[in-house]
Amino acid sequence: MKKNELINKAIKIKGVPYFVEFVEDLHGCLGLTDGKAKHIIIENNGDLKEIKKTIVHELFHAFFDECGLVEYSNNELLVNWLEQHYFEIQKVLNFIVDNKKSSNKS
């Protein structure tokens, strides 16, 4: 889904609609998640890698909120760790899945 496709649309997190908004200036913050308003705001700073990391970070906040794990959502140390390792974990997962597919062909 492209950034412009998110305008006035919601994504679903655990079945709950969240609105995603990209803004040009978030006043010193890269992203915000409001679990009560079901709203995620991302600063569009032009750096796609940083934007992706921020989206992942904010999604962890939202998923924790929707799972009733607000204490984890409020734990910035935990959310930062998850965000920092998410892409590494995804790479390892893809490697395992790709090798599973190739071993099934034998």
pTM: 0.85
Q: Assign domain 3-104 to its CATH architecture.
A: Orthogonal Bundle (1.10)
User: What is the C-alpha to C-alpha distance for residues 77 and 61, in angstroms, rounded to an integer?
Assistant: 12
Decide: residue 95, CB within 10 A, 0-12 exposed, 13-18 middle, 19+ buried. exposed
Query: Could you state, in order of their start, the residue ranges of all structural domains in the chain?
Result: 3-104
Q: Note the pLDDT of residue 45.
A: 86
Give the model confidence (pLDDT) of 31-70 as tens digits. 999 999 999 999 998 889 999 999 999 999 999 999 999 9
Q: Note the pLDDT of residue 101.
A: 73
Show the beta-strand stretches assigned E in 1-106: 10-13, 16-23, 31-34, 39-43
Closest CA to 31 of 17, 39, 40, 85: 40
Q: Compute φ and ψ for 43, nearest 5 degrees.
A: -75, 125
